[in-house]
Amino acid sequence: MLASGVSAQQAAVTPYLPVEQMPDLIKCLPAPPAFDSPEFAYDMMRYTWGKQQRLNPERAAIARRDAVWSYEALVAEFAVPFGLEVNREATPEIWKLLETSLTTTDAIRVAPKAHYLRQRPFERYEDKLLTDEEDELRGEGSYPSGHTMRGWMCALLMAEIAPEHADTLFARGWMYGESRVIVGAHWQSDVDASRVAASIGYCALQRSPEFREQMRRAQTEYKEKTGQASTIEQKNTRKTRHGSRKHRVKRH
């Protein structure tokens, strides 16, 4: 069930590192708070806070958008703070970096979800979600939050590409996690742990030479698209793309 959330297209992406070479979140993160602990009392308070946020139509609409489980929807939410619309056609290098990085780090959430199989807020309270995810999420572990991991990872990656927008990118990444509390899909402690989990995955990516090279390409493409690239950078990028096209022609 956990693996079924990955689309066929994402499954076709070769990750930068196999899951066996990524950190084990069961060993990295503490167990989720017990239901009779002081920490869980805070989770309950935040659940109440989340339901209050639903009364704000604008914030509720953002939370609904943040619930859409696709890379396209995720990246679109970060377009404004990033300063550039990102998609496969217009920004292929940035898209490749984001898609492959997210595919790589998505895999590390599966084991802790199955290991802890934490009950979700809407299940415990027999409540309704703000979104229509109930059938998909019922019975699936709450800890950690896959949406939050994706949102924070996207902010980390985009902040490295465009450090001048880091403050607004991380603000949006923080909001993305809060949306999971607002819709009732996750406890606050799920969200908190997931931001750490994303950071752990991001650090692991640095070991991949392919990741570092694709990050360089993404940074250059961003500068080109936003008018920041120097003449030398533009020439080098054109040479690289021309070489890649020649290589593909020879292979065919």
Q: Catalytic residue positions?
A: 147, 180, 186, 190
Burial 180-212 (b: 16+ CB within 10 A, else e): bbbbbbbbbbbbbbbbbbbebbbebbeebeebe
Burial of 30 (0-12, 13-18, 19+ CB in 10 A): exposed
| Residues in CB range of 157: below 8 A, 6 or more apart | 97, 98, 101, 202, 215
Backbone angles phi, psi at 234, to 5 degrees: -65, -40
Compute the C-alpha angle 105/1/208, nearest 5°. Answer: 15
| DSSP-assigned letter for residue 22 | S
Instruction: Look at residues 50, 27, 91, 8 and name the one whose alpha carbon lies nearest to residue 186.
Output: 50
Structure tokens at 167: 């403050």
Q: Which helix (H) or strand (E) holds 36?
A: none
Spatial distance between the Cα atoms of 149 and 183, rounded to a whole number of angstroms: 16
